[in-house]
Each structure stands twice: as structure tokens, then as C-alpha cells.
């Protein structure tokens, strides 16, 4: 019974942290992909993590491998951060 409770607590913690991460995700649509430069142009909604209103702009992508799964026109969920004065997409996934 003790083990089950521990498992439940762990599962609950995972669910909570996952939903917190999701709450910060911004939504966007892919307009252009530049694999050579590891850059992506997104038409994005509000990005609360960097206090940015909706617009279309170019981002650097932290993990260029994530671009392989994307195409122009895809709806995406992503997180962005300001690193060394540049806006960087830290994680990006095709929206389900």
C-alpha cells in the first residue's frame, strides 16, 4: 500500500508539471523553414514567456532536428526564450 501511494504521488507530480509546461506553450503556424540556418518563420499568437503579442517573425531554433518533422502550413505548439538578445524556439511540435 505504501508503494502504491508513492506511485500515485509521483504520477500526480508528473501530470502537474506537464500541464504547467503546456500552459506556457504558444501557438503558431509555420510560414517558412530555413534548415541551413536553423531558422523558422512563425505566425504566432501571444507568447507569455517573453511577453510578446501576436505577429509573424523569424526565430532561431535550439534543436534543428525538430524542423524535420515540420512543413510550411503546419499548426504548431512551441516555447520561446530570449537568449543573447535573440528569440529562440526552445521546443516546437506539430499541434495535434
Name the nearest CA neighbour of 90 among 24, 31, 10: 24
Residue 88 binds Cu ion (CB under 5 A): no
Query: Residues in the chain, how many?
Result: 96
Instruction: With contacts defined by CB under 5 A, name the span among 9-17, 23-31, 57-65, 69-77 that binds Cu ion.
Output: 57-65
Query: Which of 31, 39, 52, 64 forms a contact with Cu ion (CB under 5 A)?
Result: 52
Q: Report in angstroms how near the CB of residue 22 gets to Cu ion at its nearest.
A: 20
Nearer to Cu ion, 57 or 81 (CB): 57
Tell me which residue has its CB nearest to Cu ion. 57
Q: Does 50 bind Cu ion (CB under 5 A)?
A: no
HEC profile of 29-94: EEEEEECCCCEEEEEECCEHHHCECCEEEEEEECCHHHHHHCCCCCEEEEEEEEECCEEEEEEEEE
- Classify strands 55-61 and 75-83 as parallel, antiparallel or unpaired: unpaired
| Of positions 9, 12, 55, 83, contacts Cu ion by CB under 5 A | 55
For Cu ion, the binding residues (CB under 5 A) are 52, 55, 57
Amino acid at each position: 500500500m505504501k508503494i502504491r501511494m508513492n506511485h500515485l504521488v509521483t504520477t500526480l507530480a508528473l501530470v502537474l508539471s506537464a500541464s504547467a509546461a503546456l500552459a506556457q506553450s504558444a501557438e503558431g503556424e509555420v510560414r517558412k523553414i530555413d534548415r541551413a540556418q536553423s531558422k523558422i518563420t512563425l505566425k504566432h499568437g501571444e507568447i507569455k514567456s517573453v511577453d510578446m503579442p501576436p505577429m509573424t517573425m523569424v526565430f532561431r531554433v535550439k534543436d534543428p532536428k525538430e524542423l524535420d518533422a515540420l512543413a510550411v502550413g503546419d499548426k504548431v505548439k512551441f516555447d520561446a526564450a530570449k537568449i543573447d538578445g535573440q528569440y529562440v524556439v526552445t521546443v516546437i511540435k506539430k499541434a495535434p
